[in-house]
Amino acid sequence: MAKAPFKHGRKLCVFCGNPANSGEHIWPKWAHDLIPEVSGHKQVVFEGAVTRDVMSRVYDRNRQGSVAKVAIRRVCNTCNNGWMSEYEGKAKAMLTAMMMGRNLALGADSQRLLAEYFTLKLMVLDWTAADPIFSQEVRTAFFDGRVIPAGIQLIIAFCPDHRMSSYYRTHFQEASNVNRLAEHQPGRNVKTFAVGFGGIFLFALCIKNDAADLKLEPRQGWFQLLPAKLPLIYWPPFLATSRDEAETVASSLGALKKHARVKVADDVVGAISKIIGG
């Protein structure tokens, strides 16, 4: 059983529990040549009550260097250079073609490989803040047997706009099904990730303990990877996704307050929206 990473203090690998002595790139090194180089990036964090339309700005910082080269020091050398590196090797050719918009037919095995690869990345991205949505038990199950959590819904689209090629945004807040309020345990339990990876734009909705009973709405030009729906996906989709559409999807967790079956908490623990790039 892997040890749980410390919330504060010494950092441990989120998968095996050994000291986190290695940095995992959000966008792998081999993909850097496929992502437009920028001289700097902006990091913006908003925080405020989840029921308000306007959030207060916490900080706005201009940082040097390309966001494509950001690395998260939450894994160990053994994992990073072992099984995680094997995933990079298996997925590299397929991801390269998808990033560039080349024609591919993705069968069940290819879709499963993509789903596992993106789940791995999400579990690392989850630790950009010290309040993860994936539990140690869930990460250990993925480490031991590549078990993908039931609470992940993942969709992908092709977005050729280079401004979205190294995009990253996440939202985290508390919600509950209105019919199960009596069973609800307070705490943030719904998190989304939006990532631009070259021409691939992925959006993940992650729900802890199935607390909010949310489903992603089908959208034209988007394919659902998790839970898997299609025996064959033809890439790129006939309808490419615009920057505006990608931004709309990336910020869609804010629409929870309009959901008929969901109650969003009144600033019990607040909500955080984090944007890198832009």
**Least reliable range by pLDDT among 2-6, 154-158, 190-194, 226-230:** 2-6
CB 174 within 8 A of CB 188: yes
Q: What CA–CA distance (Å, rounded) separates 167 from 164?
A: 5
CB 60 within 8 A of CB 42: yes
Q: What CA–CA distance (Å, rounded) separates 184 from 181?
A: 5
The listed range with the strongest mean pLDDT (137-151, 204-218, 263-277) is: 137-151
The residue among 264, 120, 172, 153 whose CA lies nearest residue 219 is 153
Task: Inform me whether the pLDDT recorded for 234 exceeds 50.
Answer: yes
Strand partners, 224: 155
User: Looking only at Cα atoms, what is the longest distance across the chain?
Assistant: 52
> How do residues 95-110 score in pLDDT, each as one tens digit?
999 999 999 999 999 9
Stated pTM of the model? 0.83
Taking residues 268-275, report their average pLDDT. 46
